[in-house]
Amino acid sequence: MDELNVIVVGASGYSGIELIRILLQHPKVNIHHLFVHSQEGESIDRIYPHLRQLLESPIEKLSDLTIEKIVELKKENEVVFLATPSGVSKELGPQFLEAGFKVIDLSGDFRLKEPIQYELWYHLEAVDSSLLQQAVYGLSEVFPKEIKEANYIANPGCYATSILLALAPLYRRKLPIKSVIIDAKSGVSGAGRGYSRNTHFSEVNDNFKAYKVGRHQHIPEVEQVLTDLSGHQVTVQMMTHLLPITRGILSTIYLDLEKEYKEEELVQYYVEDYGNQPFIRVRPSGEYPETKQVVGSNYCDIGIFLDQRTKRLILFSAIDNLMKGAAGQAVQNLNLMMGWEQELGLRFVPIYP
Ligand SMILES: NC(=O)C1=CN([C@@H]2O[C@H](COP(=O)(O)OP(=O)(O)OC[C@H]3O[C@@H](n4cnc5c(N)ncnc54)[C@H](OP(=O)(O)O)[C@@H]3O)[C@@H](O)[C@H]2O)C=CC1
Ligand SMILES: CC(=O)N[C@@H](CCC(=O)OP(=O)(O)O)C(=O)O
């Protein structure tokens, strides 16, 4: 088969450049067009010199993406990755969809099914409900059948990915969960390449802080999926923190269960659900994930601890926010949509130490 031509919009951002890193060595994909918003320079290696001799393709301006241009692009390209901020994807995505593209959107614009929820948490006007319904939530291991059929993928948020992969086996089995507390921490690349006071070096280095307290946009995303899986309204307590590291998310999740379980029984649920999944590594009892064991790869590592003293169940879930939390999962979804092997182009060994 000929290579599949793809377009990356938002190629100058951290998720965009991670997509390039993956797609460059994907055996069935050709990176055909790159679009940026404000960066100047005639080729991508001028913005990112680490790409010199690897990819020196010209960059084009997002402002040139008229409907006519998108229709023209469709003649030679099948798939577009939107690695653009929320608020931007919702303008571009429907135009690419209308032109016949398969769209993989890394932003939050199409994740929440209720427009009112999007407006509440993102403070932006939502797209039409009928468009929202067309988008499939791209949590690869949980919704593979829906992803295969989809033309528009709402790629999950990075925190939401680590949290939902840890919780899905419990919620889809409708375990009697009394309360859930999610304590999640991310490296700074989760905030993207743009400059901000919260993420500049002296604010983050030698520091550790909670942020977006009570207002993180992944809270409704997590609640929506857990509600769908369990069939009842789920509310979670969730807190996000900024770690002085570049990549990686570790979510620690505390659950009070109404019934007594044995740890082996719970571990077994994870092995049943994820035993055949190439990117989920369920740790045996007594072993717990660390960000360094997944960074640079598409793995999600999950650890399970049932505290006999407090009877509380504690889950640990580690991912690389730019890989499994963004570009890696986006390519995994591309593979599912095209009917290819899930691991194609994604066989990265974590970078250790
Ligand atoms: N970073 C992460 O870990 C994750 C990110 N995401 C999502 O992926 C998307 C990209 O994030 P990330 O790569 O971190 O962001 P960056 O800020 O690093 O990059 C954003 C990209 O979008 C372009 N862009 C910025 N502002 C605008 C605008 N107003 N109009 C059009 N284009 C614009 C930028 O172009 P230019 O540089 O030329 O200005 C750049 O290419 C976001 O929706 C984010 O929420 C999802 C999961 C994880
Ligand atoms: C460290 C950091 O700032 N992380 C980002 C999460 C990135 C992400 O997944 O954002 P979207 O939902 O917008 O796609 C945040 O907390 O907002």
**What pLDDT is recorded for position 2?**
82
Q: Looking at the structure, tell me whether residues 120 and 253 fall in a common domain.
A: no
pTM passes above 0.95: yes
Question: 194 and 141: one domain?
Answer: no
pLDDT in tens, 230-268: 999 999 999 999 999 999 999 999 999 999 999 999 999
For ligand 1, atom 35, the nearest C-alpha belongs to: 37
Q: Is residue 346 part of a domain?
A: no
Name the residue among 302, 298, 259 with its Cα closest to residue 164.
Answer: 302
Q: Which two tokens stand for residue 173?
A: 């089995």
Range of the domain at 137: 4-155+326-338
At 100 the pLDDT is 98
172: domain CATH number is 3.30.360.10
Q: Does pLDDT of 352 surpass 80?
A: yes
82 lines ligand 1 (CB under 6 A): no
CATH of the domain at 107: 3.40.50.720
Q: What's residue 271's pLDDT? A: 97
pLDDT tens figures, 269-327: 999 999 999 999 999 999 999 999 999 999 999 999 999 999 999 999 999 999 999 99
pLDDT of 157-183, one tens digit each?
999 999 999 999 999 999 999 999 999
How much is the average pLDDT of 103-115? 98
Residue 278 near residue 298 (C-beta atoms within 8 A): no
> Do 173 and 288 lie in a common domain?
yes
Report the phi/psi class of residue 231: left, alpha or beta, with left for phi > 0 and alpha for psi in -120 to 50.
Answer: left
Q: What is the pLDDT of residues 9-23, one digit of tens each?
A: 999 999 999 999 999
| Total count of domains within the chain | 2
Residue 317: name the closest of 327, 331, 303, 305 by CA: 303
* 347 belongs to a structural domain: no
**Residue 186: CB within 6 Å of ligand 2?**
yes
> Residue 32: what pLDDT?
97
Burial class of residue 144 (count of CB atoms within 10 Å of its CB; 0-12, 13-18, 19+)? middle
Q: How far is the CA of 192 from the centre of ligand 1 (A)?
A: 6
User: What is the mean predicted confidence (pLDDT) over 211-237?
Assistant: 98
Residue 238 lies inside a defined structural domain of this protein: yes
CA of 71 from ligand 1 middle (Å) equals: 24
pLDDT-derived band at 1 (thresholds 50, 70, 90) equals low
Q: Ligand 2: which residue has its CA nearest to atom 10? A: 157
For residue 344, being part of any structural domain is answered with no
Average pLDDT over residues 196-205: 96
Answer whether residue 351 is part of any domain. no
Instruction: Write the DSSP assignment of 301-349 as a string of letters.
Output: EEEEEE-TTT--EEEEEEE-TTIIIIIHHHHHHHHHHHT--TTTT--PP
